[in-house]
Amino acid sequence: MEDWRNGGFGLYIHWPFCESKCPYCDFNSHVSKQIDQTAWTEAFLHELDRVAALTRDRVLDSVYFGGGTPSLMAPELVDALVTRIRKHWSMANAIEITLEANPGSVETGRFTGFREAGVNRVSLGVQALNDRDLRALGRLHSAREARDAFDVARSVFDRVSFDLIYGRQSQSLSDWAKELATALSMAVDHLSLYQLTVETGTPFAARFAAGGLKGLPSEDLGADLYAVTQDMCGAAGLPAYEISNHARPGCESRHNLIYWMGGDYVGIGPGAHGRLTRNGQRFATEAISAPAIWLAAVPAQKTELGWEKLCAQDRADEYLMMGLRLVDGVDLDRYARMLGRPLAAGKVAELETLGLLELNGSHLRTTDQGRLVLNAVLIDLLVSA
């Protein structure tokens, strides 16, 4: 069995447009007042035809419309793409088709159109549940609009997730606990809860470098915020299954699990990344990021910057880095098959003694304490690999 089958096979479609660019965001997103949705429909269809020729024998486990703000796509565009996807690939019985949405672009008619097109899961970018912090994050919607958007999504879809950012400026532990309690009272089956990070190249990074962005949490407060998040979500029946993701058992994001479990996925659209195994060799792919240049490259099938061969060390390192984000961890026998040798037992034992890792047979996972310092754990393991 080819290794990627342990994680499954997914398709990621990147819609690169937003109504505005959030100052903390380092995703490939662009603001454009005029978008020719017909041209984008045709381009995506051409790309689907291209990648299908490489993967036609596969069963598709997940489709994910990400961005950007995919809820700005016309439902007719989504319908055309899902119809073409169904033509090209066999679908898993429980296929997950997710579309990301921002609260400001949510309306019942549009969401009904997405559902009729085949979307069966929505992920809302709420980010905060109070207006002060939404403004500080550069979001265009209000807290009221976020709640209204959630109600609309819930009325149309059985599966609804939403994102919140914590560790915001001047946010106390009690502030976050109250906000999280509200979020948990709304939650259907999944929450993504991210600590604010200052990403290189963003307006937040420039502001921080200039001495702005006051009131970010200390390292100790950040740890406390993380701990209360785990405790409250677990008590509410949405335990963590990954560092920043919580779900009722059985409602985990299938698409993200493909990433974290080392499956194959095709990425189409400006800036989209992919991992694809062909003839036993795994490749990393990346598309041209500028929307206009990507669009112009579609007819000649030149949208990708290239295919990078991943050596055995690359593949094993990636599996370890992604898999240890999961509460369930990684299979060391699988790791050894990838690399041709086992992970350094001495280093694993050392981190076990420190209470950062747990080893059960061939199964290795981080402890609650280990996930708090995951980057340091990974550095130790990768250096010794």
Superfamily the domain 3-258 falls into: Aldolase class I (3.20.20.70)
pLDDT tens digit at each of 385 positions of the chain:
799 999 999 999 999 999 899 999 989 899 987 899 999 999 999 999 999 999 989 999 999 999 999 999 999 999 999 999 999 999 999 999 999 999 988 889 999 999 999 999 999 999 999 999 999 999 999 999 999 999 999 999 999 999 999 999 999 999 999 999 999 999 999 999 999 999 999 999 999 899 888 999 999 999 999 999 999 999 999 999 999 999 999 999 999 999 999 999 999 999 999 999 999 999 999 999 999 999 999 999 999 999 999 999 999 999 999 999 999 999 999 999 999 999 999 999 999 999 999 999 999 999 999 999 999 999 999 987 7
Q: How many CB atoms lie within 10 A of CB 54?
A: 11
> In the chain, how many H helices and how many E strands?
15, 17
Q: For the chain, what are the domain ranges? A: 3-258, 312-385
Task: Please tell me the predicted confidence (pLDDT) of residue 11.
Answer: 98
> Where are the extended beta strands (E) located within 57-132?
59-67, 90-101, 121-127
The domain defined by 312-385 folds into Arc Repressor Mutant, subunit A (1.10.10)
211/64 Cα distance (integer angstroms): 38
Q: Do domains 3-258 and 312-385 have the same CATH topology?
A: no
What count of residues does the chain have? 385
Alpha helices in 250-344 (DSSP H): 254-260, 291-297, 312-323, 332-339
Nearest CA to 221 among 193, 191, 192, 196? Answer: 196
For the sheet containing 330-331, what is the strand order? 330-331, 363-366, 357-360
DSSP conformation letters of 316-343: HHHHHHHHTTBTT-EEHHHHHHHHSS--
Q: Is 143 helix (H, G, I), strand (E, B) or coil?
A: helix
Q: Contact, 330 vs 319, CB < 8 A?
A: yes
By DSSP bridging, strand 121-127 and strand 90-101 are parallel
